[in-house]
Chains A and B, each alone.
Chain A
Amino acid sequence: MALVAPVGLTHFLLLGTALFCLGLYGVFVKRNAIALLMGIELMLNAVNINLIAFNKFIAPANFTGQVFSIFVIVVAAAEVAVGLALVISIYRDRATTSVDDLDWLKW
């Protein structure tokens, strides 16, 4: 066994999991809507790492994982654009971006 093990699928998956948990944590505890969006970005990136790692280690002949991750990035960009627009609009209206106050859709 080599002293330094080569970087394998497991490491990437661990990194992805760690990133996902960080993002999830951010989404759960942050009060600022923009910080929330940032948390979501982290989670999406964790997913992207998984996709590319699987592509590289499981089916290197295809580019399925890469294509998927590009789709995810595009959709995420679009989502953030909409999300930021909403946040700005809400801020103009209510002078707040704290998600605790954004509960007008309930009931």
Chain B
Amino acid sequence: MDFALFSLNNAWLIPLLPFLAFVLIAFAFKNMEKTASTTAILFCGVSFLLALGVVAGVLQHPELIEHPFVKEARWFSMPGLSITMGQYIDPISAMMLFVVTLVATMVMIYSTGYMQGDPGYSRFFAYLSLFACSMLGLVIATNLLQMFIFWELVGLCSYLLIGYYYFKDSAREAAKKAFMTTRIGDFGLLLGIMFLQINFGTLEFTELADKLPAFAVAHPGLLTIIGILVFIGPIGKSGQFPLHVWLPDAMEGPSPVSALIHAATMVVAGVYLVARSFTLFQVAPEAQHFVAYIGGFTAFFAASIALTQREMKRILAYSTVSQLGYMMMALGVGSLTASMFHLMTHAFFKALMFLAAGSALHALHGTADIFEMGGLRKKMPWTAAFMVIGTLAIAGIPPFAGFWSKDEILLMTKLHGFTGLYVLASLTAFMTAFYMSRMVFVAFFGKENPHNHPHESPWNMLLPMSVLAVLAVVGGLVGTPWTEHGFGYYVRYGELHHAEVDWSVMGGSVVLAVGGISLAWAIYGAKLIDNEKLAQRAGFLYTLSYRKFFIDEIYQWINKVIVDGTGRVLYWVDIHIVDGFIDGLADSTGWAGRTLRRVQTGQVQHYAMIFFFTVVLVAVIMGLMGNHSAMALIGGGK
């Protein structure tokens, strides 16, 4: 049996191998650092090879687009509910398997250099392996429940890794923030999943796809609600507005983690989920438009924040939020291909940039402010080159990877008649080019900071970066409008359609990208315009952007005033009303007991007295009421 076929049939091994690595490291190689990292890389590398096999298999069998290769085993079943676990292979999941295993392997190799000497070295690799396993399990999920399980596991891993430096207050806070913010989204997703199960009696993607169209005709409103509920999950996980606040804080984790989270795992899980449930959104146009507008707004909003940020990784984080917004927007306007294409190229160049940023931070021992870096180009030529490649890719300069995918999104947005979103996305592209090159000009070019003594990173950090750099350059070529059997041929939903090459969109986006870079060069490179003065001139806008539109402060306020206030009121109700009632009940029985206890004096004569007067009382009653009714009263007779 040839390797491609073997990989197709055994794709479930791909998530299993990193899990085995995790178990081995966690329980056997805890104190053997070298063995731990080697195990992690080896197992993930084998997964990568298998993923390559799956990709090859998918390329050999184009019919998998319409008929996914599903292999599953029943996990449990009861009346009305049958849950399976298995693998769902189609071009989308094959592409994701390839991207995730590739980036994870690269990040792991990089980490052997970056994490050298860290006391938690083995722990780090255990977490990375588990992270890879969770994401891969999510990718091959055959049903929404399996997906949700791994979805939560991904959340757990991100929590563990963001809070990797658990002895640092800020890291702990960031981990908590990430976990809780995404949990808000997960709740919406869970509700959506339950709605689907109740209405369709299944969570299998294939069965859902069959049943959805008929249901859409009968209950369009309900389906819209379900779609929006499901989308709340991705809003949390993929850092869409307004649940984006955790993503920039997640920078507290080590840089390789940021690369993994931002490029291949956590945040793209949301995009992938929407893509997986694309059939649902396809038949619920309102929900789909909701996705489009949230995505478009997020893209613009995050880019406008990134304009003024000073920390390198924060700029990158906001760019991630912005790019994810692009992907969501692409899904929202109805182009699965454009979104998945951008997801892939973004994974290459964003992982590259985070690793390069990590390399710079590593060399500077944690200086995060780009204005304190300056002139890294001379001491770190490779890192600088990689960062420039990444920047050109994300800015959308042809022929770098980002250009093709972003162009596809812009084109699709325009083609599907979302003119407003098209303008917004183009503006975002301009801003992206500007803030990314601002970072490069300030941190890598410009004047050297005499306090810094950077040195180039070792080969095991440069090697993965160079692999990613190559992909960031050529990765987009598989999806150019001129490739007959390129990306769009395999990764699509519905009919294959060839859009004409729209030179105005293509030319416009290049102009915008070049314009953004030129503007950044004018301000930060050539210093034709003084950036300090510019900031003062646009004081209000600058503050708004620099302080991230005060979203965090608003949440703090909501938290303090509304949540805590409600909490205080409820606490009062609990203490005084609920507890008061129960305590009162207990007190009254206690009081009754204490009072009645006095009756039992132990004095024979008291008892005799009570007995006697009771008899007298009965006699009086009988005398007054007549024998018959008195007997009834006492309960004796009829």
> A residues engaging B (CB < 8 A)?
24, 27-28, 36, 99-100, 102-107
Contacts and interface: CB of A to CB of B under 8 A. Distances in A.
Contacts of A105: 602
7 contacts: A24-B612, A99-B605, A102-B602, A103-B602, A106-B601, A106-B602, A106-B603
Nearest to B597: A107
Contacts of A27: 605, 608
Interface of B: 597, 600-605, 608-609, 612
A106 B599 CA distance: 9
A106 B612 CA distance: 20
Contact of A104 (B602, B608, B609): B602
Nearest to B609: A28
A9 to B, nearest CB: 20
Contacts of B602: 102-107
Contact of B603 (A24, A100, A107): A100
B606 to A, nearest CB: 9
A107 B600 contact: yes
Nearest to A105: B602
A99 B608 CA distance: 12
Given A24-B612, A28-B609, A99 B597 contact: no
Q: What are the 5 tightest A-B residue pairs by CB atom distance, in nearest-first order?
A: A103-B602, A106-B602, A106-B600, A99-B604, A105-B602
Nearest to A102: B604
B49 to A, nearest CB: 82
Contacts of B605: 27-28, 36, 99
A106 B598 CA distance: 9
Contacts of A107: 597, 600, 602
A33 B604 CA distance: 10
Given A28-B605, A105-B602, 17 more contacts: A27-B605, A28-B608, A36-B604, A36-B605, A99-B603, A99-B604, A100-B603, A102-B602, A102-B603, A102-B604, A103-B601, A103-B602, A103-B603, A104-B602, A106-B601, A106-B603, A107-B602
Nearest to B600: A106
A97 B243 CA distance: 85
A24 B609 CA distance: 9
A3 to B, nearest CB: 35
A27 B602 CA distance: 15
A23 to B, nearest CB: 11
B366 to A, nearest CB: 73
B607 to A, nearest CB: 10
Contacts of A100: 603
Nearest to A40: B608
Nearest to A36: B604
A107 B594 CA distance: 11
Contacts of B603: 99-100, 102-103, 106
Nearest to A27: B608
Contacts of B601: 103, 106
A98 to B, nearest CB: 11
A91 to B, nearest CB: 16
A90 B359 CA distance: 97
A102 B605 CA distance: 11
A105 B602 CA distance: 6
Contacts of A103: 601-603
A104 B600 CA distance: 11
B593 to A, nearest CB: 11
A107 B608 CA distance: 17
Nearest to A28: B605
B601 to A, nearest CB: 6
A9 B548 CA distance: 109
B595 to A, nearest CB: 13
